[in-house]
Amino acid sequence: MAKRSLFYKSIGFFTAIFASFITLSIFFSQKTLKNFIDFLAAAEPKLIWAFLLLHLLAAVFRSFRYRLVLENIVSAAQLPTRGTLLLVTLVRNAFADFLPMRLGEGVYFFMLNRLGVRIITCASSFGVCLALDLLVLAFMFLLVIGGFTLFSDFNFPQSFNNQHILLFIFILILLSLLIYYADIIGRKFLNLVEKKISKSLKGKTFLQRFFGLIDDLIFDLEQLRQRGHYYNLILLTIGLRACKYVGLYMLLLALVSQYQFRAAQLPFPYLFFAFITAEASSSLPISGIMGFGVSQGVWVGVLAALGVELPEKLSVALGVHVISQVVAYSLGILSLFSFGLLMLRKRRSELNK
C-alpha cells in the first residue's frame, strides 16, 4: 500500500513538472525571454506599489487570523507573538504554490512546530482557516458575480426582473446566515447525518476519521464563538481575501496599462472569477511547479469564455504570476532568514539558562 501511494505521488509530481514545462514551452516558442522582461518592465510602477501594499496588508490580516485561532487552542506560553506569526505568514505565502496540490502549505505546520506548537494543533488551526476561507469565498463570489450580473449591462441580456433581484437578495441573506451560524448549523447537520448512517460507519475507519475531523472542526468553531472571536475571524477573512484579489487586479492593470487599457474595459467581477478558478486549479495534483502550468491555462480559458478582450492573455497571466511570486519569494526569504535568527537566539537563550 505504501509503495503504491509513493508511486501515485511520484506520477503526480512528474506530471506537474510536465505541465509547467509544456506551459512555458508554448509561451517561449512565441516570445523570447527579452520580450517578456521588456513586457514586465513596462508595467505601471504606481500600481505595482499598490499591489505590494495590499499584499502586505493581506499578510497582516492572515497573521492576525492565525493568532486568534491559536489563542483558542494553545496556552498563553505557547502562543507565538504577532511579529513571529507575520514571519510565518510571509514564508507560507511564498511557498504555498511551490509544490502541486499546494503542498507548500506544509511550511506553516513546520514553522509552528518549531515554535513548540503540536502538529495536531497546527492542523486544527489550518482546518478552521480553510473552512472560513471557503465560506467567505462563497459569499464574496455570490455578492460580486451575482450583483454584477443583475445590475450591470456589460454583455448580459436585459431580461432580469424584480424576481431575479429578490432571489439574489434571498440567497445572499441565506448565505450570510450560514456563515453567521456555521457552527450551529454544522453541529445539527453532523448529528443528523451520524444518526442516519451510524450503523454503516462501523468498521469503516476512513469515514469514522472523516466525521471525527468534521466534529473537531465544528467544536473549534463553537469555542471561537464562545470566546467572541468568531465574528472577528470572519471580518479578517473578508479583509485578507479582498486585499488579495484587489491586489491581483491592480497588478493586472499595471501590466495592461501599456496597451492603453482602462479599468472599465476589465470588469473586476470577471477578473475575480478568473482569479478564484485559477487559485482552485492550483490545488490539483497536476497544477505545476511554483504555480507555473494549469492555473495560467485556466485563467486564460476563463477570460476567453467570458469574452474579455485582452491582448497577450498568456503573457499577462504569466506576468501577474511572476511579479506576485517575485514579491512573495523576496518577502518570504527575508522572513525565513529572520525566523532562523529568531530560533537561533531562542536556542542560545535556552542553553544559557
The rounded average pLDDT for each run of 10 residues, N- to C-terminus, in the chain (353 residues) is 49 60 67 79 89 94 91 79 91 79 76 85 83 82 69 48 64 72 74 69 63 71 77 89 90 83 70 77 59 67 69 77 88 92 82 68
The C-alpha atoms of residue 132 and residue 183 are separated, in whole angstroms, by: 11
Angle subtended by helix axes 294-305 and 268-281, to nearest 10:
150
Strands 292-293 and 288-289, how do they pair? antiparallel
The alpha-helical segments, DSSP class H, found in 74-204 are 82-95, 106-114, 119-141, 147-151, 162-180, 182-197
**Pairwise CA distance, residues 331 & 257, whole Å:** 26
Calculate the alpha carbon distances from 114 to 41, 99, 122 in Å. Answer: 39, 21, 11
| 178 in any annotated domain | no
pLDDT value at position 270? 76
Q: Is residue 88 part of a domain?
A: yes
**What burial class does residue 294 get, using C-beta atoms within 10 Å of its C-beta: 0-12 exposed, 13-18 middle, 19+ buried?**
buried
Q: Who contacts 131 (Cβ-Cβ below 8 Å, separation ≥6)?
A: 182, 217, 221
CA distance 83 to 115: 13
Q: Number of folded domains in the chain?
A: 1
Q: Is 218 a domain residue?
A: no
Residue 175, domain member (yes or no): no
Cell 506520477 -> residue:
11
The pTM for the full model equals 0.78
Given this model, what pLDDT does residue 8 score? Answer: 47
- What was the pLDDT predicted at 182? 73
pLDDT at 164: 60
Per-residue pLDDT at 247: 92
Range 178-181 contact pairs with CB under 8 angstroms and sequence separation of 24 or more = 178/135, 179/135, 179/136, 179/139, 179/234
Residue whose entry in the numeric block shows the C-alpha cell 514564508: 91
CA dist., res. 111 & res. 95, Å (int): 12
User: Is 343 within a domain?
Assistant: yes
Rg (Cα) of the chain, in Å, rounded? 22
> Do 92 and 108 touch, CB atoms closer than 8 A?
yes
Quick check: 220 and 73 in contact, CB under 8 A?
yes
173 part of a folded domain: no
pLDDT value at residue 271: 79
> Domain for residue 249, yes or no?
yes
Burial class of residue 329, CB neighbours in 10 A (0-12, 13-18, 19+): middle
**pLDDT confidence of residue 58:** 94
pLDDT for res 201: 60
Q: Residue 201: inside a domain, yes or no?
A: no
Q: Which domain holds residue 255?
A: 17-164+228-347
Query: According to the model, what pLDDT value does residue 49 have?
Result: 94
Instruction: Classify residue 292 by its DSSP letter.
Output: E
The pLDDT of residue 141 is 77
What gap in Å lies between CA 143 and CA 166, rounded to an integer?
13
Contact partners, residue 238, CB within 8 Å, separation at least 6: 136, 140
